[in-house]
Structure 1
């Protein structure tokens, strides 16, 4: 049996969220920074973990922190930063504002990992580009799109060879919830024990 591609995880910590009004990764949820919940889950996968952030304070979590190689290009710029800072075949890109993710779903997506195909979750008709696997060989394509100003992650997925893993392979679609506002944070606090 041939081994699968080498995978490295990169967590997008971004910066100040316009809707939250502060840095989402460090917002407290159930007594811990939101990114800490994400990192704890990802640790169980036993893969190299890295953080993409322009704030050195993220070094407190004990993983390598990389600054954006191109400024203000959103997740697409984050993906390029990951590609530029790994020797792996595939980057597992994860947003810091998805504290309900599970290793179960990560492993389901990783089973389809390929050196030439994007793998992302599909919930209903919604693709989740920030909990997805991207082949590093797409680096030139990402650079071209950034230079053209085309930063839509979903468009990028659909324009390239991809596998979309539909819901039904995991227990709850709630694991893909991301926290963008104070109200969503409050709701997440209330539902934490139920969803985790």
Structure 2
């Protein structure tokens, strides 16, 4: 595995949280805001961790914050922003509404990254491109999709050499909820019941 100093980590937090009705990043799950869970998952494996978001609402977290290159263009704009500012070839991403992402999952993706531009987790035929490894080599193709108005990250990743990792097959000790994200009050209620 690459040494920590050669990997940058980014938390995607630029969404509007419209389905939740309030800023998801600050919702407390298991005693901490969801965005703190995301930062904590990245810190053990990344030399630097930053947030890609709009505004200054995350300044208190003590990590660099980068503004989306294209406002209102969704997570693809956040990924492009991060890849453009990154000084490392390998970059690990997660989003602020996935509080159960753990360093072991991210390490698993990193271990599979040799020879690929992107490594994206898959679970039960669903892909999770917002918690993934993207190399800087993705930037030209991703920017082209962004400028063409093709904003779906799931579709955009097909423009690069991508490897999908069936995470539960690769590491049966990972919990099935490791990639779960929380978008609505109902999903939050289900999490609180666990």
**What do residues 133-152 of structure 1 show as CA deviations (whole Å, max 9, x unaligned)?**
11112211111111110011
Are residues 1:149 and 2:149 paired? Answer: yes
Partner of 1:182: 185
Q: Distance in 2 between matches of 1:88 and 1:181?
A: 34
**What 5-or-longer segments of structure 1 have no aligned partner?**
192-196
**What 5-or-longer segments of structure 2 have no aligned partner?**
none
**SS at structure 1 position matched to 2:101:** coil
Q: Name the TM-score, length of structure 1 as normaliser.
A: 0.89
Partner of 1:158: 158
Say if 1:116 and 1:168 are closer, same or farther in 2 by CA, change over 3 A: closer
Say if 1:137 and 1:115 are closer, same or farther in 2 by CA, change over 3 A: farther
Q: Distance in 2 between matches of 1:23 and 1:15?
A: 9
The total of aligned residue pairs comes to 191
Say if 1:163 and 1:97 are closer, same or farther in 2 by CA, change over 3 A: same
Q: Distance in 2 between matches of 1:119 and 1:174?
A: 19
Q: Distance in 1 between matches of 2:76 and 2:142?
A: 7
Pick aligned residue for 1:173 from 171, 176, 191: 176
Partner of 1:8: 8
Cα deviation, residue 83, structure 1: 1.2
Give the 5 Å matches for 1:24-63. Answer: 24-63=24-63
Kept in 1: contact 2:4–2:45 (CA 8 A): no
| 29-38 vs 1-10, greater mean Cα deviation | 1-10
Q: Distance in 2 between matches of 1:160 and 1:73?
A: 20
Cα deviation, residue 2, structure 1: 8.9
**SS at structure 2 position matched to 1:17:** coil
Partner of 1:113: 113
Cα deviation, residue 47, structure 1: 2.7
Q: Distance in 1 between matches of 2:84 and 2:118?
A: 17
Q: Distance in 1 between matches of 2:16 and 2:85?
A: 23
Q: Distance in 2 between matches of 1:46 and 1:144?
A: 27
| 79-88 vs 31-40, greater mean Cα deviation | 31-40
Partner of 2:95: 95
Kept in 2: contact 1:5–1:90 (CA 8 A): no
Q: Name the TM-score, length of structure 2 as normaliser.
A: 0.90
